[in-house]
Amino acid sequence: ETGVTQTPRHLVMGMTNKKSLKCEQHLGHNAMYWYKQSAKKPLELMFVYNFKEQTENNSVPSRFSPECPNSSHLFLHLHTLQPEDSALYLCASTEAGEGTEAFFGQGTRLTVV
């Protein structure tokens, strides 16, 4: 248990569906991240929020829409996804400052059919 909780753990959705992934941390961290992990590829940094402000959008398609209502919660809203979007989506959080350890959630295994 890392203190970062992701729900759901598994999600199967059709290409026309709309769903949301949720991430929650109560570690007092100020930065939260979404990563995508596909087979045989590096972890792809998708979005970074620092003090609820988005500071990084790594050329992610608009069918992925992040939301950070407060420093403890992070959402990833999904709509009209493609089969190639199937992957493990990982949320992480860190304290403010340089060289801090990232705490990861267990991930959401997403399958787009």
Partner 1 sequence: SQQGEEDPQALSIQEGENATMNCSYKTSINNLQWYRQNSGRGLVHLILIRSNEREKHSGRLRVTLDTSKKSSSLLITASRAADTASYFCATDAGTYKYIFGTGTRLKVLA
Binding residues for partner 1 (CB under 8 A) = 2, 4, 6, 31, 33, 35, 40-43, 45, 48, 50, 55-56, 88, 90, 92, 94, 98-99, 101-107, 109
CB nearer partner 1, residue 40 or residue 70? 40
CB of 16 to partner 1, least distance (A): 27
CB nearer partner 1, residue 67 or residue 80? 67
CB nearer partner 1, residue 83 or residue 97? 97
Query: Which DSSP state fits 26?
Result: -
Structure tokens at 35: 């990563």
Residues 4-31: b if buried by 16+ CB within 10 A, e if exposed: bebeeeebebeeeeebebbbbbeeebbb
Rounded Cα distance between 3 and 11, Å, is 21
CB of 112 to partner 1, least distance (A): 17
